[in-house]
Amino acid sequence: MQVFIAIAMFIGDGLYNFLKVISKTIAGLSRQLRSKRDAGTILPLADRASPDTYVEIAAILVTSLPHIFPQLKWYYILVIYVFAPTLAFCNAYGCGLTDWSLASTYGKLAIFTIGAWTGKSHFGVLAGLAACGVMTNIVSTASDLMQDFKTV
């Protein structure tokens, strides 16, 4: 029971800071865009935030993983790729505070949710395990990056 409380604290604190960072980033970018637009300058390509690479990788996996694991439908992977950045931020934030990565725990969360969503009759265990691999790979990258920042 205590582990679930710790996970809930990680997610709650991480979500709070995620929303705080996003709101301040959006406010700062809008101020910057307004000032550059008023000055008549055109923003270079490097000043524009672009999540194209993430979307491309998600599109590749959404189309290819159902061929490898037929139990894992394309919309399960899409849902994972929608929620994973927020969980990755929470994991990186918690790993930065405590040196404790919860990537495997978020993978277990994917096993339970995708496995239950798929159902026993459609081999939900296999779909859950494949979803666990996808979620763990996405979320663990953020905590690995945080560890690299802390050791430099």
Give 143's pLDDT tier (boundaries 50, 70, 90): confident
* Spatial CB neighbours of 82, under 8 Å, sequence gap ≥ 6: none
Contact indicator for 27, 125 with CB cutoff of 8 Å:
no
- Mean pLDDT for the chain overall: 84
> How many structural domains does the chain have?
1
**Global pTM value:** 0.76
Residue 41: the pLDDT is 60
Would residue 141 count as lying in a domain? yes
pLDDT at 151 over 80: no
Phi and psi at residue 45, in whole multiples of 5°?
-65, -30
Question: Per residue in 45-100, pLDDT tens?
Answer: 554 546 778 888 889 999 999 999 999 999 999 999 999 988 998 888 888 888 88
Give 30's pLDDT tier (boundaries 50, 70, 90): confident
Question: Per residue in 118-136, pLDDT tens?
Answer: 988 888 899 999 999 999 9
Residue 24: the pLDDT is 94
Would residue 142 count as lying in a domain? yes
Would residue 29 count as lying in a domain? no
- Residue 131 CA, chain-centre distance (Å), reads 13
Residue 97: the pLDDT is 84
Q: Of all residues in the chain, what percent carry a pLDDT higher than 90?
A: 36
Cα diameter, the chain:
62
Would residue 120 count as lying in a domain? yes
Would residue 128 count as lying in a domain? yes
Helices (H), ranges, the chain: 2-39, 52-68, 74-98, 103-118, 124-151
Mean pLDDT over 129-150 rounds to: 87
Q: How far apart are alpha carbons 25 and 89 in whole angstroms?
A: 15
Contact indicator for 123, 69 with CB cutoff of 8 Å:
no
* Domain membership of residue 134 as a residue range: 101-151
Would residue 24 count as lying in a domain? no
Would residue 41 count as lying in a domain? no
